[in-house]
Amino acid sequence: MLTLRKGRYLARTAATDADREAAQRLRALAFHAAVGIDLDPHDAECTHVLIEDQRDGALVCCFRLLPLRSGAEIARSYSAQFYDLSALADFAGPMVEMGRFCIHPERRDADILRVAWGALTAFVDAHGVEMLFGCASFPGTEAGAYHDAFALLRDRHLAPQRWLPRVKAPTVFEFARRVRRKPDLKAAQAAMPPLLRTYLLMGGWVSDHAVIDQHMGTLHVFTGLEIRAVPPTRARLLRSVAG
């Protein structure tokens, strides 16, 4: 069981059905601006991580983790519904998919994301994970608002050819081929989702296309991070939070 206390926040794994339902309710609020629950068949086989404000017990962030023994199990992942991940089937080490990451829309404290990464680091270290992956989402389904961000991803952060996801979803925006402009770096960084920005700072990479997900109301890119590629200074910083 994961338990991490940092400042006013507590990160822990869900222990009960009520814990999991609380996460699903936060997801509904964050992803759909609705009262209710957000769930899918993957919830049953995932470890759910909750981050609570210890001052009032409020759930402020959640995400779920799906461990895989190697890339041979990649077809079990949520991401495999949207991307052809056959290249990653050759990845030999343990992997974990992080999904449904969200922060309560009324909470703006940067420490929430920091504690989330600390909890994730503790999980990765405890399970010997060698690759972290998932889908990083841009709000909305109109690609035009994100051309600078996509141009920056194209120029600096595409997946290595040996791991590159291929198109599978019926509706995608192939930004590596279609966006011709040079990125305005300030505009690109402003448009980049915080979770994706953190992946990239650690050496993460993305698919060459974004999936247009009408159900979730997002554009998302597949994101991968080989743990051994994390810069040593950043790894030490993350482990200082996880410790």
Query: pLDDT by residue (tens digit) across 160-170?
Result: 999 999 999 99
Q: Exposed/middle/buried for 198, CB within 10 Å: 0-12, 13-18, 19+?
A: buried
Contacts of 78 (CB under 8 A, 6+ apart): 40, 42, 66, 97, 99, 134, 135
**Taking a C-beta distance cutoff of 8 angstroms, is the pair 183, 148 a contact?**
yes
- The mean per-residue pLDDT over the stretch 212-241 comes to 95
For the chain, the domains span 3-242
Report whether CATH 3.40.630.30 matches the domain 3-242: yes
Residue pair 152/182 in contact by the 8 Å Cβ criterion: no
Print burial letters for 217-227: b (CB count within 10 Å at least 16), e (below 16).
ebbbbbbbbbb
For 112-125, how does the pLDDT look when each residue is reduced to its tens digit (9 = 90+)? Answer: 999 999 999 999 99
Q: What is the mean pLDDT of residues 187-193?
A: 96
User: CA of 184: how far to CAs of 152, 176, 181, in Å?
Assistant: 8, 16, 9
Q: How high does pLDDT run on average in the chain?
A: 96
Q: What is the 3-state secondary structure (H, E, C) of 50-88?
A: EEEECCCCCEEEEEEEEEECCHHHHHHCCHHHCEECHHH
Residue bearing tokens 């482990």: 239
CB 32 within 8 A of CB 42: no
pLDDT interval class at 16 (50, 70, 90): very high
Output the pTM of the full model: 0.96
Region at 116 (left for phi over 0; alpha for psi -120 to 50; beta for the rest) = alpha
Q: How confident is the model at residue 1 (pLDDT cuts 50, 70, 90)?
A: confident
Q: Region 82-92: what's the mean pLDDT?
A: 98
| Cβ-contact 179, 208 below 8 angstroms | no
Indicate whether 240 pLDDT > 80. yes
| Contact between 203 and 156 (Cβ < 8 Å) | no
pLDDT of 242 reads: 87
Residue 243: predicted pLDDT:
77
Determine the distance from the C-alpha atom of residue 111 to the mean position of all C-alpha atoms in its chain, rounded to a whole number.
17
Which structure tokens are listed for 119?
């909890």
Please tell me the distance from the alpha carbon of residue 48 to that of residue 63, in angstroms, as a whole number: 6
Is 90:73 a contact under the CB 8 Å cutoff? no
Alpha-carbon separation of residue 40 from 43, 44, 77, 121 (angstroms): 6, 8, 12, 25
